Amino acid sequence: MRVLVACEYSGRVRDAFACRGHTAVSCDLRPTESPHGWHVQGDVLRLLDRQWDLMIAHPYCTFNTLSGVQWLSHPEDSKLPFEQRRRHPRYPNRLDDFEEGIRFFKAFQEANVKRSAIENSQPHGLAMSRLGKYTQKVQPWMFGCPESKAACLWLKNLPLLVPSHTEDDYEKIHQSCWRMGPGPDREKERSRTHAVVAAAFAEQWGCL
Ligand SMILES: C[S@@+](CC[C@H](N)C(=O)[O-])C[C@H]1O[C@@H](n2cnc3c(N)ncnc32)[C@H](O)[C@@H]1O
C-alpha cells in the first residue's frame, strides 16, 4: 500500500505503516525526527495528486480547536451570531488565520485519494460548520495506554477504529498534555501522534 502521512514530522504514523511492509512517506515543513524513514520536507499540497492508496493527514489545528475559540472574536460579542461579531482586539488577524486553516484542511478533504483520515484536536462549532463533524474521536487509552489525548478523525472510505480497551481497564488515566509546561516548543511537543494510536491506524487500516 502507498501511504502518504501529511503534516507529520515525528514519523510515528509513517514508521507504523513502514514496519508492516507498506511504502509510507511522511511530509512536513519540518525535518523528520525519525530519519530512517522516507520523509519529504516541504509543502505537502504538492504531493496530494500522486497515486496514494491511503492518506493520513494531521493539518495544524491552531485556529480550529475548542480550547482557542475565545481568541477568534471580541470577548463582548460572544452571545452574537458569529457573522455579527467584531474581531478580537488583541488578535485582529485571527479570523483570517482561521480561514486560511480551513482552506488548508479542505485541500485534504478534497484530495483525489480513495481512502483518507484527517486528524485534528477537538474543534469548535464554527470549524465544524465549515468542515463537517468528525467521524470518530479516539484516545490512547482505547488502545492500551493509560493516557488521554483526544484525536478527532474525519474518515473517508475507512472503517471506524475498533478499540482494544475501555476506561474500566485502568485504575487511572493520565492527561499527559495538560501537565506540559509553557515554552517555545510546547505546541510542537504536544502535537505528536500518540504511538498506540499510530499503531492502531497501521494495524487496522493497513490490511484493507
Ligand atoms: C499539528 S502538527 C502535526 C504533527 C504530527 N501529528 C506528528 O506526529 O508529527 C501540524 C504540522 O503541520 C505542518 N505543516 C503546516 N503546513 C504545512 C504544509 N503546507 N506542508 C507540510 N506540512 C505543513 C507543521 O509543520 C506541523 O508540524
Q: What DSSP string runs through 54-94?
A: EEEE----TTTBGGGGGGSB-GGGTTS-GGGPPBPSS-TTH
Task: Indicate the pLDDT class of residue 166, thresholds 50, 70 and 90.
Answer: very high
| 148 lies in some domain | yes
- 12 CA closest ligand 1 atom index: 8
* Count of structural domains within the chain: 1
> Considering only 12-16, 36-40, 127-131, 179-183, which range has the smallest mean pLDDT?
179-183
Q: What pLDDT score was predicted for residue 190? A: 84
**Pocket mutation for ligand 1, best pick of 10, 14, 17, 60 (most atoms within 8 Å of C-beta):** 60
Cell numbers 485504575 correspond to: 171
| 122 lies in some domain | yes
Distance (Å, whole) CA 60 – CA 193: 12
- The domain spanning residue 14 has which CATH number? 3.40.50.150
**Pocket mutation for ligand 1, best pick of 9, 15, 97, 108 (most atoms within 8 Å of C-beta):** 9
| 84 lies in some domain | no
**Residue bearing the bigger pLDDT, 18 or 67:** 18
Q: How far does the centroid of ligand 1 lie from the alpha carbon of residue 175, in Å?
A: 23
Q: What pLDDT score was predicted for residue 59? A: 97
Mean pLDDT of the 152-162 span = 98
Q: How far does the centroid of ligand 1 lie from the alpha carbon of residue 79, in Å?
A: 33
Q: What pLDDT score was predicted for residue 81? A: 85
State the pTM of this model. Answer: 0.94
Yes or no: say if 24 and 37 are a contact pair by the CB < 8 Å rule: yes
Q: How far does the centroid of ligand 1 lie from the alpha carbon of residue 78, in Å?
A: 30
- What is the separation, in whole angstroms, between the first and last Cα of the chain? 9
Q: What pLDDT score was predicted for residue 21? A: 97
Q: What pLDDT score was predicted for residue 179? A: 57
pLDDT (tens digit per residue) in 96-119: 999 999 999 999 999 999 999 999
Residue nearest to atom 10 of ligand 1 (CA): 60
Q: Element (H or E) spanning 189, and its range?
A: helix 186-191
Q: Given a cut of 60, is residue 186 above it in pLDDT?
A: yes
Residue nearest to atom 25 of ligand 1 (CA): 29
Sheet holding 151-156, edge to edge: 38-41, 23-28, 2-6, 54-57, 115-120, 151-156, 136-138
| 160 lies in some domain | yes
Q: What pLDDT score was predicted for residue 181? A: 58
| 54 lies in some domain | yes
Q: What pLDDT score was predicted for residue 10? A: 97
Q: How far does the centroid of ligand 1 lie from the alpha carbon of residue 9, in Å?
A: 7
Phi-psi domain of 42 (left: phi exceeds 0; alpha: psi -120 through 50; beta: other): left
Q: Which residues line ligand 1 (CB under 6 A)?
A: 7-10, 12, 27-30, 43-45, 58, 60, 191-193
Identify the domain containing residue 193 by its residue range. 2-69+105-205
| 96 lies in some domain | no
| 95 lies in some domain | no
| 85 lies in some domain | no
